[in-house]
Structure 1
């Protein structure tokens, strides 16, 4: 589940910034005082096409303020490099972090935009040597670039996948330690982490993340929560959207049922954490 056009809110959702961060989050802006839960994640956490994403539902169920720090198409890099956001998350009693994909982060083969991590900036000499027949100036997004490389040679692409797995695991482990507060990792996808790692689906988030990569983080995370979603959990309030592109994208995203399930699954974790 991904969405490439950022910078606007199809459902007219208010957006806000928190002091020191250059990122626009879903509003209204909250006061980060007392006990609260920080919800970090990508497009699903932001709730680009839903009126009530899971942080809102979770707050309604528990009464605990749940601050939405979702950023569309977020990779590890955008959170790890935003000191102000890390400070906000560190002040939370608990942090929920939607597991990000491994595509949208800089590595030895290519560079991505520091904030819009899905934006492909440049191939390194190593990637150009690995795929000499590919013109990398044709690509603006990481997923399209990786899709093309998979068509050219899945065997050669395995070297890129190995590098992404290494960088993602190291980056996530560092991020979990940097946040400071206890972190619950949320697998929010209708793709299981147990899917065959030898046939990765780059079109489904969290792209290229395997069970082995997820388990490598268990010692750094407070808990790992996995949802058992299905393709029927996709589709959302597309009829309310004016743009045909937005309507197509919304139908491919996780819908209200998935967000409800996420909130219900996280509720006992919060209850345990905040019990007197």
Structure 2
């Protein structure tokens, strides 16, 4: 009966030739080649635009005129205007001095940053190639449900990257640059350390915002159910708080600020998992009725 159900789900009732393991590997190889080529091209473009990548993007968060700092000061001024009894204050911007002590440090950093930027820029196409390999294995109903997977995953990744860059990163930089164990020790940040902090925070933001997409695919293959997510909701909140502590500096304000969107994404993931499970049950019941 399962074979009949599967055959009815094939597009247009056509027989689809089953590919061998070697043919699957060949298909996967070409998808990976195209994905890597797109990352390489975007990396070369980033490498050639060094001043834009470093001066206007990578090093901008250490500038006192950074967008986030200006908005925080405007918000504090607005709060004082609405509540005059609260003492007027401004966000204290600590200067960050960056230095390089390695002969090839700046050149190797340029290459590493170009690769990371290349992957971020090429992410929609990379995911499109992954989706292109997975899509033929899905039934028609599954293809319709997941038709916007590339757009949604790309959008969530970009939003996560922007959230990490404009929210998590500046708060992390100011906390870590101003933290000191003794007044006799000054913070002179090494270039590789600064770049590592920037890339890890920004990239982590993009990855964690993929939670709804992960929930969708795990629900499709039966590894995740909305009942399971509801049952372990409190445990998941603790895990999200720990995750926020890992990707942010060790202060409560930053952790809570990061944890709020993660909790929201978790609740959205429960809704997505419920919709997927409901759709699968509905399709299965329809198939049984057709067979009867």
| TM-score, L = length of structure 2 | 0.24
More helix by share: 2
| TM-score, L = length of structure 1 | 0.25
Which of 1 and 2 has greater Rg? Answer: 2
